[in-house]
Amino acid sequence: MKKVFILMGLALGMTFGINAQEYKVITSVESIVPNGLGRSRIVNALEDKDYREFTSVQTEEDNTRNKSKRGEIRVKNFEETKLLNFYNLGGIRFQNIAANDALITSMINDMIANGWELAFVNSAVESEGGKGDGQGIFITRYIFKR
């Protein structure tokens, strides 16, 4: 009887060890450029990269640099879903924001239907902010896990 419990415990422990978590980042970039001149998208990389291939170690004794080229870091296989810009010639466009919300909700629901769980959401605004500011994006990273 003891052996049965030990074997069941080992099997259960191995099951938990095999189930490593996986993360996926999807980014939405929404233009806050006036007059609707910017581009807004949801971007989803379709290939994986190993960050260690592009990491270097910096020390006083040994200044070893990673010799990889920037082009090797680029992901060439990705999905790009069009979104609408926040602004048009008339100013802020609330209908565009609602449309973007509908598309982002659809993307989140699709990820959940495919076994992913929305774990974190991070957002930020980048804007020049100077006189005649004609630059800016609202970026959101959706981090999923399974």
Rounded distance between C-alpha atoms, residue 18 and residue 101, angstroms: 36
- Does the predicted TM-score (pTM) go above 0.95? no
* Res. 63: pLDDT tops 70: no
**Residue 96 token pair:** 């565009």
Tell me the CA distances in angstroms from 110 to 53, 91, 114, 138, one per residue in order.
31, 32, 6, 23
Nearest to 108 by CA among 131, 71, 81: 81
Is the pLDDT assigned to residue 53 strictly greater than 70?
yes
Q: How far is C-alpha 76 from the geometric centre of its chain's CA atoms?
A: 15
> Is a pLDDT exceeding 60 seen at residue 5?
no
pLDDT digits 0-9 by tens, 77-102: 999 999 998 887 788 889 999 999 99
Residue 83 burial by CB count (10 A; 0-12/13-18/19+): exposed, middle or buried?
buried
Confidence band of 14 (pLDDT split at 50, 70, 90): low
